[in-house]
Amino acid sequence: MHSKNLEQKFNVKLIITDGEAKKNLSHLIEKYKISSLIWNRLYSDQSIKRDTEIKSFFKNKNIHVETFNSHLLNEPWEIQNNSGQFFKVFTPYWKTAFKVYLNKKFSYQKNSLIKSFKHNEKTKIDFLSNRSWYEKFNNYWSPGEDAALKKIETYISSHIDKYDVNRNRPDFDQTSRISPHLRFGEISPRVIVEKIQNSKKSNNAVNTYLSEIGWREFSYSLLYYSEDLSTKPINPKFKKFPWRSSKKDFALWTEGKTGIPLVDAAMSQIYEEGWMHNRLRMVVGSFLVKNLLLNWTLGEQYFQKSLLDYDEASNAAGWQWIAGCGADASPYFRVFNPVLQSEKFDPQAQFILKYIPQLKIFNSSKTVFEPYLDKKLLDSLVKEKKYVNPIVDLKESRNRALDAYQQTKS
């Protein structure tokens, strides 16, 4: 059936999000006498397998099922290089992909035929259950399509022009924070692009913003074409990387108790907001896989369980990028120095002090970034259990990481 005719038949909109989909859907279909199902496609092997199975399950029950792409600008298989392969480098990927997308001349219309579906089913989310994070949810997030549209419109009219200069500053908090809405399908990247185009804004900041949407698309291409992006390094050399194993260090990292303030403040941002600034994801990621020499898949899994915007493509691709084992990845020898990152991107220590206010007793940003420089003061905090000594020496652990990398290379 043509999708337009199909749309006229719709009286529901359902989003399949969990492994219980078949059971939950069967229950809803019966209860609400649903005759058609639609959903937006997902792209990992696992999701494709699950959704194909669900599709045939319901088709066999004479329920009409149709799937669409609203999650991406282009389907991953639409973008290929001249040799008919998927792109492994971002810049040529995005040049091609954006052109292909613009040629489609997509236009967004809110579909009034799809009526919203009120039901009282409860969803149990097993998410950082040892912390009452949800109590603060409303301080940071307004779920839903209307909220997502409002957020992106305000961002485009008031903030996007400075995206290129502000986006790296966790203390400024000037990125769009649209990622959870994208994750839950509350907004499509197509709508974002169209709204930017309608604004008639065209400058370096806007192009930088669009290219970040491009990184999301690129991640999906990698997800679709790789064997298992969340566990298998794209660069096969990393299959034998000499990772350390330390449950204790990993736990201290997750709890924000490494003694490196920028890392600890960033990890605390997750507990407060369920979200972390992109610059900090790179800093904490580098600290885990390089300074602590722990396998990047541990970080990938932790983010999977704790980020509101967890995305099966961007998260895995982000971790592979940080570990240096992905496509177009940050080279392994690039170890982010959290102290230099603090000086550059949180120069007044505002972000750090928001999350670790007990460090206010240090009298300069320099000592907030490196409390161990004032040993006496740090000792007093440690004694009162208000902060901790660093779990690694940044220089020594950097050298250890570079040695491990050399070993892998040869």
Q: Is 315 in the site for ligand FAD (CB under 6 A)?
A: yes
Rounding to the nearest 10 degrees, give the CA dihedral for residues 126, 127, 128, 132: -90
- Tell which residue, 241, 248, 257, has the closest CA to residue 289: 241
The 367-386 contact track toward ligand FAD, x by CB under 6 A, reads --------------------
Q: Evaluate the CA torsion angle 398, 175, 166, 140 in order and state its sign.
A: negative
Positions in 176-205 near ligand FAD (CB under 6 A)? 176-179, 182-183
User: Least separation, in Å, of the C-beta of 296 and ligand FAD?
Assistant: 8
Q: Report the residue from 44, 74, 188, 219 that binds ligand FAD according to the rule CB under 6 A.
A: 219
Task: Closer to ligand FAD by CB, 91 or 407: give it.
Answer: 91
Task: Closer to ligand FAD by CB, 34 or 279: give it.
Answer: 279
- Tell which residue, 194, 159, 198, has the closest CA to residue 176: 159
218 Cβ partners below 8 Å, 6+ apart? 87, 90, 93, 94, 97, 317, 328
Report which residue's Cβ sits closest to ligand FAD.
318
Q: Is 149 in the site for ligand FAD (CB under 6 A)?
A: no
What are the tokens at 232?
């298998």
Q: Is 38 in the site for ligand FAD (CB under 6 A)?
A: no
User: Least separation, in Å, of the C-beta of 252 and ligand FAD?
Assistant: 18
φ, ψ of residue 390 in degrees (nearest 5): -60, 140
Q: Report the residue from 215, 287, 302, 369 that binds ligand FAD according to the rule CB under 6 A.
A: 215
DSSP 317: H
Q: Report the residue from 307, 308, 327, 381 that binds ligand FAD according to the rule CB under 6 A.
A: 307
Measured between alpha carbons, how far is 249 from 251 in angstroms, rounded to an integer? 5
Positions in 250-289 near ligand FAD (CB under 6 A)? 278, 281-282, 285
What are the tokens at 250?
């990993």
CB atoms within 10 A of CB 92: 13
Count of residues interacting with ligand FAD (CB under 6 A): 27
Binding residues for ligand FAD (CB under 6 A): 167, 175-179, 182-183, 212-213, 215-216, 219, 278, 281-282, 285, 303, 307, 309-311, 314-315, 318-319, 322
